Amino acid sequence: MIIKSFFTNSFGILVSRIFGFIRDLLTASVLGANIYSDMFFVAFKLPNLFRRIFAEGAFTQAFLPAFTKSRTKGIFALHVFVRFAVFIAFLTTLVVIFSPFITKIFAYGFSPEQISQTAPLVSINFFYLALIYIVTFIASLLQYRSHFATTAFSTALLNVSMIASLLLSDPQTPQNTVYYLSFGVVVGGILQVLVHIYAMKAVGLFPLVFGAVKYRKTHKQNDLERKTFYKNFFHSVLGGSTVQLSAFIDTWLASFLAAGSISYLYYANRIFQLPLALFAIALSIGIFPRITKLIKKNDENEAVNLLSKGFWMLTFLLSASALGGILLSTPITKILFERGSFTSQDTIICAKVLAMYLIGLIPFGLSRIFSLWLFAQQRQKEAAMISAVALGGGVVFSFILVYPLGVIGLALASSLSGFFLFILTIRAFGFRRFFSIIYSKKLPLLILLLVVETFVLLIFKDILQKFL
Query: What are 215-268's pLDDT values in tens digits?
Result: 554 555 566 667 777 777 777 776 666 666 777 677 677 767 776 676 778 778
Indicate whether 276 and 186 sit together in one domain: no
Indicate whether 293 and 379 sit together in one domain: yes
The better pLDDT of the pair 213, 287 is held by 287
Q: Where are the alpha helices (DSSP H) in 297-379?
A: 300-327, 329-337, 344-359, 361-376
Question: What is the pLDDT, as a whole number, of residue 146?
Answer: 78
Judge whether residue 416 has pLDDT over 90: yes
**Assigned domain for 221 exists:** no
**Assigned domain for 123 exists:** yes
E-assigned strand segments in 168-270: none
Burial class (CB in 10 A: 0-12, 13-18, 19+), 374: buried
Q: Pick from 152, 181, 213: which residue ends a domain?
A: 213
**pLDDT tens string 203-220:** 887 776 665 555 554 555
The better pLDDT of the pair 55, 91 is held by 91
d(CA 292, CA 301) in angstroms, rounded, equals 13
**Assigned domain for 228 exists:** no
Indicate whether 303 and 157 sit together in one domain: no
Indicate whether 196 and 304 sit together in one domain: no
**Assigned domain for 276 exists:** yes
Total number of domains constituting the chain: 2
**Assigned domain for 357 exists:** yes
Indicate whether 370 and 288 sit together in one domain: yes
Name the residue range of residue 2's domain: 1-213
Question: What is the pLDDT, as a whole number, of residue 114?
Answer: 82
**Assigned domain for 225 exists:** no
Reduce the DSSP state of residue 98 to 3 states and report it: coil
Indicate whether 316 and 369 sit together in one domain: yes
Indicate whether 363 and 449 sit together in one domain: yes
**Assigned domain for 365 exists:** yes
Indicate whether 206 and 285 sit together in one domain: no
pTM comes to 0.73
Distance of CA 15 to the CA centre of its chain: 15
